[in-house]
Structure 1
Amino acid sequence: MKKSLSTLLLCGAAITAITACTVEASNFKSLKYGARAYPHAGVVFEVAPQFGATRSAYWCAGSEYARRYLGAGWQTPIYVVRGLGLGEVSGRKDTVLFTLDPVGSHVQPSAILRADGFNVGSYKTVQGGDSHCDPYLLDLL
């Protein structure tokens, strides 16, 4: 009886954890060119373009999410919180975390400059990110 009860509790906990992850990972906004954005706390968001996307796809999707869902203006800066890495919400392999808050107050810039250009603290305006939405830059043509 004890063994079956503990097994039942363990299975229930596993199902609850899987359901929570699935619900959180399904809470995304669809963007142009198949990209997705996943909201975090405040104005931090995770961008996951299609697999194999160019660097421009991250800035394009980040600017679109900031403009459409966070109400950012064209001159509002979008800051990199974390460069390319495993998605914290989506679980996807290559995602970037962005925010509208100035990075210096809560994220320390890395001393190592990344070749992919997603250095913590680097930024573009929404308009600058939107300029990366050209299908030629996104390698869609």
Structure 2
Amino acid sequence: MFWTHMKNSLSIMAICMTAVAACAVEANNFKSLSYGARAYPHDGVVFEVVPPIGSTRAAFWCAGSEYARRFLGAGWQTPFYVVRGLGTGEVSGRKDTVLFSLEPVGAQAQSNGIFQFNGFNPGSAKTVQSADTDCDPFLLDLI
């Protein structure tokens, strides 16, 4: 009886450790961007942008522009859209992240029902080029 209980406990621990390891691998699957930002790929053309803690609104758009251009092959005139405004990251777990997509939002949009005055409402969009202008160090409050 003792060995059966011990065997079951070890099996459960192994499953839990595997699940934790899988989450850690996913959280480490990020792309490094300029100015200390990171982006985490989601399904398809959706990605999670994580600028450094305390960043300005411009840092989210700047990082989104860079990720869309460098890693998704978007052209300068390609628009990208807010899928979910400021919230806890689904992959990174960070408190202040934004989900973007190269595809117009529709069923994938995630709204908490509150209009956000920070410009991160589902469906808000900028072109890669227009968001790239937010990469000015003065706008990013780096100087």
Q: Does TM, normalized by the shorter one, top 0.5?
A: yes
Which residue number in structure 2 is paired with residue 91 of structure 1? Answer: 93
How many Å separate the matches in 1 of 2:112 and 2:26? Answer: 28
Deviating runs (4+, > 2 A) in structure 1? 104-112
Are the counterparts in 2 of residues 47 and 58 from structure 1 also a CA contact under 8 Å?
A: yes
Q: CA deviation at 1:112?
A: 3.5
1:104 partner SS:
coil
How many Å separate the matches in 2 of 1:88 and 1:104? Answer: 19
Selected match of 1:125 from 127, 130, 137:
127
Give the alignment's TM-score, normalised by structure 2.
0.93
**Which amino acid in structure 2 is aligned with residue 131 of structure 1?**
T
Q: CA deviation at 1:7?
A: 1.1
2:14 partner SS:
helix
1:80-132 deviation line (CA, Å, top 9, x unaligned): 00001111111111110000001135437676320221000000000111010
**Which amino acid in structure 2 is aligned with residue 116 of structure 1?**
N
Which residue number in structure 2 is paired with residue 4 of structure 1? Answer: 6
Are the counterparts in 2 of residues 37 and 45 from structure 1 also a CA contact under 8 Å?
A: yes
How many Å separate the matches in 2 of 1:27 and 1:108? Answer: 22
**Which amino acid in structure 1 is aligned with residue 142 of structure 2?**
L
Identity of aligned residues (%): 65
Matched, 1:71 2:73: yes
105-114 or 20-29, which deviates more: 105-114
How many Å separate the matches in 1 of 2:71 and 2:64? Answer: 10
How many Å separate the matches in 2 of 1:86 and 1:109? Answer: 13
Selected match of 1:32 from 34, 41, 46:
34
Are the counterparts in 2 of residues 28 and 39 from structure 1 also a CA contact under 8 Å?
A: yes
2:131 partner SS:
helix
Are the counterparts in 2 of residues 110 and 119 from structure 1 also a CA contact under 8 Å?
A: no
1:6 partner SS:
helix
Are the counterparts in 2 of residues 110 and 120 from structure 1 also a CA contact under 8 Å?
A: no
Give the alignment's TM-score, normalised by structure 1.
0.95
How many Å separate the matches in 1 of 2:9 and 2:34? Answer: 45
Selected match of 1:81 from 70, 83, 107:
83
How many Å separate the matches in 2 of 1:54 and 1:114? Answer: 15
Q: Which ranges in structure 1 are unaligned for 5 or more consecutive residues?
A: none
